Amino acid sequence: MAHSTYRLGDHGTAVAEVRVLLYRLDLLARPADTVDLRAGDLFDRDVDRAVRTFQQRRGVTVDGIVGPVTWRLLEEAHWRLGDRVLAHVPGHLLAGDDVTTLQRRLLDLGFDVGRVDGVFGTHTERAVKEFQRNVGSTVDGLCGPLTFRALERLSRTVVGGAPEALWEAERIRHRGRLRVVLIDPGHGGLDRGACAPERPEVDEARLAEDLAARVEGRLAVSGVVVHLSRGRLRPGDPAPDDGERAAVANRLDADLVISLHCDASADRMANGVATYYYGNRALGVHSAIGETFAGLVQDEIAARTGLRDCHTHGKTWGLLRHTVMPAVRIEVGYLTHPQDAARLADPAFRDLVAEAVVAAVQRLSEPRDEDPRVLRLPHLVG
């Protein structure tokens, strides 16, 4: 596993490995070493375009940079179902496209795998064991040649509907109304996130903490149990990564995760609010309730604040992918846009944003008959 970051103009053995992985994914026309030995370890414009295409397809930030996230996804992408024995290994969870395929097939056959996330966790192990029990094979949770053959034999040739959405809605319906919400203030400590050029005291981490406190207070008054993914970090403290934040949500068994951020762009005209949920149509992964809630949040913030509506989008970022419950990430305004930054610096404006988020939670928890977004998933909650 490479830990460094590579981009346009870099060269070396790691870049050569990137080129091979991209070739195997049909994103480079042919291996560079069969064309020009001098270019075999060069991160040229062809590689840059291929990396951006890969990132776009995988639902992560498109920047052309091969950092830890893109490295991990490149390595996951080359696995095909049957290449290796799959099993639940606590502390070292197997991840890859082969796991995603396994989860989809089990889901199509009616087995609850939890989130289709390409990670062989406890939900997937439980579904494999249930499948093995149903077909009369050894119930050990190991997915080897015998289980692969049984899956191939029984997989439906035609599938329809949205089984993942139905399982997700059923899990929430079974729990009853939303009771536990995790608020995730983005960044923190050493990681300050985006910063307003004209207002150095206004940074993303500070704004996220303030918004989290405002949302927390309002939700608590309504009877919801609220947790934060992190406390107030000292300036020299490292911020938890997405995996650690997701682990907190899963450990608390939250019903919903709300991650708060602000955006930034080299284009100082960029402005507005956007909301993200777990989903990537190309990969066939999707949180229907996450998408529904993202739409509710987007509607409420845009209507109450007048921020430009930049819509909702499916992404596979770590926090959205690794939480077993629906999660959304809200990018409230651009700190690089003077007007957005000025509004975010105003406590009264942050109150409006917090009220909008709480209103969206209430609409999800207690849907009215006339609410078109929640009606997409009837019987969402009891």
Residue 378 has pLDDT above 60, yes or no: no
What pLDDT score was predicted for residue 108? 87
What pLDDT score was predicted for residue 154? 84
Residue 10 has pLDDT above 90, yes or no: yes
Averaged pLDDT for residues 70-98? 95
Name the CATH superfamily housing domain 171-376: Zn-dependent exopeptidases (3.40.630.40)
Report yes or no: 115 and 278 within 8 Å, Cβ to Cβ: yes
- C-alpha 285/C-alpha 35 separation (Å) is 36
Model pLDDT for residues 345-362, shown as the tens digit of each residue = 999 999 999 999 999 999
What pLDDT score was predicted for residue 362? 92
- Band (33; pLDDT cuts 50, 70, 90): very low
Please state which of the ranges 131-140, 178-187, 287-296, 363-372 shows the lowest mean pLDDT. Answer: 363-372
Residue 30 has pLDDT above 70, yes or no: no
pTM to 2 decimal places: 0.86
Q: Which CATH architecture has domain 97-160?
A: Orthogonal Bundle (1.10)
Model pLDDT for residues 186-214, shown as the tens digit of each residue = 999 999 999 988 887 789 999 999 999 99
Write out the two tokens for 203: 């940074």
Model pLDDT for residues 226-267, shown as the tens digit of each residue = 999 998 888 789 999 999 999 999 999 999 999 999 999 999
Model pLDDT for residues 126-171, shown as the tens digit of each residue = 999 999 999 999 999 999 999 999 998 887 554 555 666 666 766 6
What pLDDT score was predicted for residue 6? 96
What pLDDT score was predicted for residue 63? 95
Question: In the chain, where are the structural domains located?
Answer: 13-77, 97-160, 171-376
Sign, CA dihedral 35-39-42-44, equals negative
Output the average pLDDT for the chain.
Answer: 89
